[in-house]
Amino acid sequence: MMGWNAVLVWFSANILSQAAFIGMHGIPYDGTLFISALGPWSWVLVVAEIGIWVTLASLLGKKFFGFRKSHPSHI
Residue 23's pLDDT is 93
The 3-state secondary structure of the chain, one letter per residue: CHHHHHHHHHHHHHHHHHHHHHHHHCCCCCHHHHHHHHHHHHHHHHHHHHHHHHHHHHHHHHHHHHHHHHCCCCC
Is a pLDDT exceeding 80 seen at residue 2? Answer: no
Is a pLDDT exceeding 70 seen at residue 56? Answer: yes
Mean pLDDT, the chain, rounded, equals: 83
Entry pTM? 0.57
